[in-house]
């Protein structure tokens, strides 16, 4: 799972909202600030690429579903991306993923290796588009 920007920022709030007690000062407080900084860096990446990744992913899933429609009775034209807010994109994405998983189950049951490989490749691409990098890790 790739955390969303609100989830990352809420982690920062949780880490920084309670002042350290006297015995927690020093290394513990420094660690809390470092964790908050890391979460902020991840949130910045998510804000920079999150919408584009979701729009791409939703379109890619729709394409697979459309290509499989005749054989597996799949559809996705009824699902739009809404107002392009992260919440709307995530809502459409969740339903598209459910449909893709159902399709994948049918494809595996039919031993359709060509489409199975295409779906597996899509899963890898989806993960790559959503990947966030820890600071200092490239």
pLDDT 10s digits, 85-121: 988 999 999 999 999 999 999 999 999 999 999 999 9
pTM of the entire structure? 0.81
Distance (Å) of CA 19 to CA 22, 31, 63, 113, 126: 9, 13, 50, 56, 39
Q: How far apart are CA 84 and CA 1, in angstroms?
A: 20
* Residue 22, pLDDT score: 78
Residue 52 and residue 130 in contact, taking contact as beta carbons nearer than 8 Å: no
Name residue, tokens 């490239």.
Answer: 138
Tokens standing for residue 60? 């890619």
């Amino acid at each position: 799972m790739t955390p969303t920007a609100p989830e990352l920022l809420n982690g920062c709030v949780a880490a920084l909202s309670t002042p350290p007690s006297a015995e927690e000062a020093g290394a513990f407080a420094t660690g809390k600030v470092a964790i908050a900084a890391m979460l902020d860096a991840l949130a910045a990446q998510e804000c920079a690429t999150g919408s584009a990744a979701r729009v791409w992913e939703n379109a890619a899933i729709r394409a697979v579903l459309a290509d499989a429609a005749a054989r597996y009775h799949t559809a996705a034209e009824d699902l739009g991306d809404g107002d392009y807010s992260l919440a709307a994109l995530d809502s459409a994405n969740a339903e598209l993923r459910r449909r893709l998983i159902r399709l994948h189950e049918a494809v595996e049951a039919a031993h359709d290796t060509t489409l199975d490989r295409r779906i597996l490749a899509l899963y890898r691409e989806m993960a790559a588009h959503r990947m966030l990098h820890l600071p200092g890790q490239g």
